[in-house]
Amino acid sequence: MTADPRIAAHRRALFAACKVLGLDDDARHDMLRAVTGKASSTELTPREWSAVLDSLNRLTRSPNLGKPTSWRPGCEPLGGKIAALLADQKLPWRYLTHGAAGKPSMCKRLAGVDRLEFADSRGLIAIVAALSKRAAKAAKAKS
């Protein structure tokens, strides 16, 4: 039995997009789980491959790679809250997704994923709480 050349092309596209986005193996598996519910690309159906590649295309075309282009179902209100907290504190989206000096990012520490698109509601609530505490601390320092 020969391997399907389309699957090989899909796998190459997956790994190329992950390289562009800076996703390591764990982040790639998180992304696959978030989009399809499966952790391995070897388990994907043609429809799931389409969903994965569409998701990666949206991410790689984004002018600001730190800002999510979509949220997991049910997480949009938390995403709006995070956007408002970042805007109020004049912080870029990179603040959440890029760690300093080799340390894990806030997104990785609090939500357990490398990109906000892959975070579940529990992780997003933790990020909202951290940003709220930071805002309160800054307000108290101004007083």
**pLDDT tens track for 58-115:** 776 654 556 776 777 778 888 889 989 988 888 888 788 877 666 888 999 999 988 8
Rounded-to-integer distance, Cα 73 and Cα 140, Å: 35
Per-residue pLDDT at 1? 43
Q: How confident is the model at residue 26 (pLDDT cuts 50, 70, 90)?
A: confident
Q: In the predicted model, is pLDDT for residue 4 greater than 50?
A: yes
Per-residue pLDDT at 56? 80
User: What one-letter code names the amino acid at 24?
Assistant: D
Residue 119 Cα to chain centre, angstroms: 6
Q: What percent of the chain has pLDDT over 70?
A: 87
- pTM of this structure: 0.54
Cβ-in-10-Å burial (0-12, 13-18, 19+) of 13 comes to: middle
